[in-house]
Homo-oligomer: A and B are copies of this chain.
Amino acid sequence: MLSTCLENVKKNSPLVHNITNYVTVNDVANALLACGGSPIMADEPDDAVEITAICNGLNINIGTLNSRTIESMFKAGKRARELGHTLLLDPVGAGASKLRTETAVNLIKEIQFDVIRGNSSEIKTLVLGSGTTHGVDADKADAVSNENLSFMVDFVKGFAKTSGAIVALTGAIDLVSDAEKCYVIRNGRPEMGRITGTGCQLSGIMTAYAAANPGNKLEAAAAAVILMGVAGEIGFKNLLPGEGNSTYRNRIIDAIYNMTGEALERGAKYEIK
């Protein structure tokens, strides 16, 4: 049940360590607080290792990575793994540069993640070793569509199998899969792409959801994606004339803050393949 996943986050208030980019970090913090989690950020290697130890989950986002934060990602990631924490990787811009692609690929090689969440171009890059992107946005040619859905479901299941992680490939149609089952989710609004950081926020929230639902990580990851999508729809409906992407950002986080289990269930549009 999606609502159980939501309520477990509100009840347990998982503490999530985020090593993330400085572009969207404030929104990630507020989105985590909105969903009932608790954020903390640390990216100096020694500090990151120690901070991660007091947390329940670690969200690694490679946007605006640098040599210091990369070291922190590996060290904190290994420490979090030793401690059995929930680990999520958001490979922002994998495919757009060698440093990003290699960092993401090596993180996956050296650390067992629970969840990997990216757009279609980023996920393709992780599977194929190289890819095309439009900066930090997905290349349109890579999008999941009704036409290639069955192929993409198999593709995501395959990567979930080889990586041992739940894979969330998000876009107009979202796929969230372990090796067996794939949630095909059709919530959200295209206008969310005109706000910076909805993907980063989702990664933070998904870490909290997976951490607070340890026995049920696939459904928890799917619930987080559905939450973001339903909040995007509610936030859009709440926009007043003259409002645009900046206020839309606030209205989405506000909708996450006010989301009930019942509203989440009611708004969810998905099938399992």
Nearest-neighbour CB distance to chain B for A226, whole angstroms, equals 18
Taking a contact as CB atoms closer than 8 A, the residue among B51, B100, B249 that contacts A246 in the complex is: B249
Indicate if the CB atoms of B93 and A64 lie closer than 8 Å. Answer: no
Nearest-neighbour CB distance to chain B for A177, whole angstroms, equals 28
Digitize A44-77: 1 where CB-to-B-CB distance is under 8 Å, 0 elsewhere: 1011001100110000000111111000000000
Nearest-neighbour CB distance to chain B for A257, whole angstroms, equals 3
Chain A positions 223-263 with a Cβ under 8 Å from a chain B Cβ? 234, 238, 242-247, 249-258
* Distance of A254 Cα from B136 Cα, bound (Å): 22
* Distance of A41 Cα from B136 Cα, bound (Å): 9
* Distance of A242 Cα from B34 Cα, bound (Å): 13
Indicate if the CB atoms of B47 and A63 lie closer than 8 Å. Answer: no
* Distance of A38 Cα from B242 Cα, bound (Å): 21
Nearest-neighbour CB distance to chain B for A236, whole angstroms, equals 12
Indicate if the CB atoms of B196 and A26 lie closer than 8 Å. Answer: yes
Indicate if the CB atoms of B249 and A30 lie closer than 8 Å. Answer: yes
Residues of chain A whose beta carbon lies under 8 Å from any beta carbon of chain B? 15, 21-27, 29-30, 33-34, 38-44, 46-47, 50-51, 54-55, 63-68, 93, 96-100, 133-137, 194-197, 234, 238, 242-247, 249-258
15 pairs of residues in contact across A and B, judged by CB atoms under 8 Å: A24-B26, A26-B197, A27-B246, A33-B195, A33-B245, A38-B135, A40-B135, A40-B136, A42-B97, A46-B98, A46-B99, A47-B65, A51-B96, A54-B96, A246-B249
Nearest-neighbour CB distance to chain B for A81, whole angstroms, equals 19
Indicate if the CB atoms of B43 and A93 lie closer than 8 Å. Answer: no
Nearest-neighbour CB distance to chain B for A218, whole angstroms, equals 27
Indicate if the CB atoms of B65 and A34 lie closer than 8 Å. Answer: no
* Distance of A63 Cα from B51 Cα, bound (Å): 11
B residues less than 8 Å from A41 (CB atoms) = 21-23, 63-64
Indicate if the CB atoms of B99 and A47 lie closer than 8 Å. Answer: yes
Query: Given known contacts A47-B99, A51-B96, is B196 in contact with A39 (CB within 8 Å)?
Result: yes
Taking a contact as CB atoms closer than 8 A, the residue among B43, B93, B254 that contacts A244 in the complex is: B254
